[in-house]
Amino acid sequence: MTRTLVVVRHAKAEQSHPQGDYSRELAPRGVADAQVLGRWLAEEELLPDLVLSSPAARTRQTTEQLLAGAGVPDVEVWGGRGLYDGGPAQVLDAVREVPEETATLWLVGHQPVMGIVTAGLADQQRSDRRALDAVEDHVPTASCAVLTLDVDWAELDSGQARLVAFHTARA
């Protein structure tokens, strides 16, 4: 079974929040961009069976707006503190815990970890070169990388996915 992993950097957030970074919310542009990205994902037939999302306010809101834009508000969303303040290894561990029947997974998180995870999973020889260059250069807010893989989630490791697309949404 071919699986699809869509790695998303959260949309544009406010610069600061009185209660700290974890509580930063989406800026109005971020709300609009996340909805546009959700519509693009739906048009590309990349609707999720499950979403892993950092529990920070801006990523939870990005996830809500992505799902609303894609027209799929009833998808299960898993969180975990490691998706907010963990490194690439913790994020990859969370992905490895995804049920095997999950065909399409959205992973919504933060830079630089989302870019590091994407570049690390991508098979350099089989991946789209332009998409790989984009991920290695800079992952803007409201961007996603689309990877396909032929291994079980539990077995996912470096270089086992094919990066097939990179997209940045702007309202």
pLDDT along the chain (171 residues), means of 10: 96 93 95 98 98 97 98 92 93 96 98 96 92 89 98 96 96 78
Residue 122 vs residues 51, 58, 146, 156, 159: alpha-carbon distances, Å = 20, 26, 10, 11, 5
pLDDT of residue 113: 95
3-14+22-168: CATH topology: Rossmann fold (3.40.50)
**Domain extents in the chain:** 3-14+22-168
Q: Which two tokens stand for residue 158?
A: 């470096």
Is 156 in contact with 11 (CB distance < 8 Å)?
Answer: no
pTM over 0.95: yes
Question: Collapsing DSSP states into helix, strand and coil, what is residue 134?
Answer: helix
Q: Is the dihedral of CA 56, 109, 168, 103 positive or negative?
A: negative
| DSSP classification of residue 98 | S
| Phi-psi sector, 158: left (phi>0), alpha (psi -120 to 50), beta | beta
pLDDT of residue 171: 78
pLDDT of residue 90: 96
Between 28-43 and 57-70, two packed helices, what is the crossing angle to 10 degrees? 40
pLDDT of residue 81: 85
pLDDT of residue 93: 96
